[in-house]
Amino acid sequence: MTATMTQCLLRLVEEHHTLADYQGDVVPRWCAGCGDNAILAAMQRLCRDEQLPPEKTVFVSGIGCSSRLPHYMHAYGFHGVHGRALPVAEGVRLRRPDLHIFVTTGDGDCCSIGAAHWIHAIRYNMNMTVLLHDNQIYGLTKKQVSPTSPRGLKSNTTPRGAYLNPLNPLTVTLGVSNVSFVAQAVDWIPDLLYDIIAEAHRHHGLGFVRILQRCPEFMDHRFDEAVRDPSKTRILVHGDGLRLKPELSRIYHNKEVHDPLDMPRALAIAALEDEIPVGILYKNPAVPCYEDVREAERPNTPDLIRTVLDEEFDKVTIWPDEQEPPAAAE
């Protein structure tokens, strides 16, 4: 059946999605000033700009403030158990190359209870975008230290200050075999946040974006200095990475041209202590994706199942009139 030009045009209009098409029917219940709002806005913008069909887009999360994000999108969402967003997303991805998959997770969800899955997800390198909402604190359970909390932070479980140095999600991620995309964004520069998530989404493989995020409720003023003083933010730019718009260029002078394939430099940038790097630290599209490696050579049809079962049964069948067992196992 052929469609007329008018029908095609009508269809185009029908299928054109506006920002509202990605807004869930639940009003976000994050605190005013929470960085999660910026991430949600960037996500909805990205979905619209990329025209991702809502029915083909899946947001998978664990537990925590960050993990409420799927409820606020108009798409398929999976708000699961604490720490396990990544393996759920991997299972979704395995046989569904047609879906766009985003994982929203927090510093507790990803770097603490789900740390094992985080390491292995990087190694599997399945095609999805992972947003680590890192506010360096447990918010939903009311102020306990997280693995990324700064040393000395007073919280409900560390009333005399956090005992240990924080874990650095960037260096950890960069250290895992098969890492293919690592970036860092901050919630207070929304344009770059958007650009970086968009790059991660376009990357074929696991795009890991750590987003430094403000928690006005429990970590107020944590990033005040960085927000106030642009020189504390080092923007990573490259022809094959982030390009800074002129209006941002005027504010952020602390720039570094960084080739996203340069792993030693990426590790050095990730380890910076007095500046916040923003941009793409590492990008290597040549790393294979697990779902591609495991792609079926043939579809699982009834005939194929019958054939394979019969082959296997043949190896262990006693036939009523048998004189000999089957000639060989293979």
Partner 1 sequence: MSTQVKEVGAGAAKHRQARQSKSDSTPRSRPALLLDENIIEIVSDSGEGAQRCGQSFAAIAARMGNGIWTVQIIPAEIQPPHRSIAGASGNRVRIAAHRVTNGGDEADLVVAFNEQVLLGRLRAGEIRPGGIILLESMWRDDKDPEIAAAYARVCEEVRSAGYRLYEVPMEAECVKHVPDPRRGKNMFALGMLCGIYSLDVELARSQVRFVFAKKDPKIIDANIELLDAGRAWAEANLDLKFAIPATRPKEPQVVMNGNAALALGVVASGMEVCSMYPITPATSASHYLSDIFDKVGCVVHQAEDEIAACTFAIGASYAGKCAVTITSGPGLSLKQEALGLAVMGEIPLVVVDVQRGGPSTGQPTKPEQSDLLAACFGGHGDAPKVVMAVSSIEDCFYSLITARKIAETFNMVVVVLSDASLATAQQPFPRPSFSEGWLAPPVDQSAVPEGAKPYDWDPQTGIAARFIPGQPGGMHCLTGLAHDRFSHVAYDPAVNQEGIRQRARKLATLQATLKTPPLYGGEEGELLLIGWGSTRGAIEEAVDMLRGKKKRVSSMHLKFLQPMASGIGEVMRRFDKVMTVENNWSDTLDDEIADKQSQRFTNLGWLLRAHYLVDVTCWGQVRGQPMKPGAVVEAALTRLGRK
Q: What is the binding site for partner 1 (CB under 8 A)? A: 24, 26, 53-56, 58-60, 70-71, 73-81, 84, 87-96, 98-99, 116-117, 119-120, 294, 296-302, 304-306, 308-313, 316-330
Cβ at position 137, least distance to partner 1 in Å: 22
Which is closer to partner 1, CB of 249 or CB of 317? Answer: 317
Which is closer to partner 1, CB of 141 or CB of 156? Answer: 141
Rounded distance between C-alpha atoms, residue 101 and residue 127, angstroms: 8
CB 284 within 8 A of CB 261: yes
> Token digits for 69?
């994000």
Which is closer to partner 1, CB of 33 or CB of 97? Answer: 97
Taking Cα atoms as reference points, which of 61, 65, 80, 2 lies closest to residue 31? 65
Which is closer to partner 1, CB of 35 or CB of 70? Answer: 70
Rounded distance between C-alpha atoms, residue 52 and residue 180, angstroms: 23
Q: Which long-range contacts (CB under 8 A, 24 or more apart) does 116-121 make?
A: 117/83, 117/84, 117/85, 117/86, 117/87, 118/86, 118/172, 118/173, 119/172, 119/176, 120/86, 121/86, 121/87, 121/89, 121/90, 121/206
Cβ at position 76, least distance to partner 1 in Å: 4
Cβ at position 127, least distance to partner 1 in Å: 14
Rounded distance between C-alpha atoms, residue 109 and residue 69, angstroms: 14
Taking Cα atoms as reference points, which of 140, 125, 157 lies closest to residue 285? 125
Rounded distance between C-alpha atoms, residue 233 and residue 236, angstroms: 10
Cβ at position 29, least distance to partner 1 in Å: 9
Interhelix angle 115-124/85-94, rounded to 10 degrees, is 30
Cβ at position 50, least distance to partner 1 in Å: 17
Cβ at position 38, least distance to partner 1 in Å: 20
Distances (CA, A) of 274 to 232, 239, 243: 7, 26, 23
Alpha-carbon dihedral 7, 12, 14, 18, rounded to 10 degrees: -170
CB 242 within 8 A of CB 280: yes
Cβ at position 24, least distance to partner 1 in Å: 7
Cβ at position 114, least distance to partner 1 in Å: 9
Rounded distance between C-alpha atoms, residue 326 and residue 306, angstroms: 19
Which is closer to partner 1, CB of 92 or CB of 193? Answer: 92
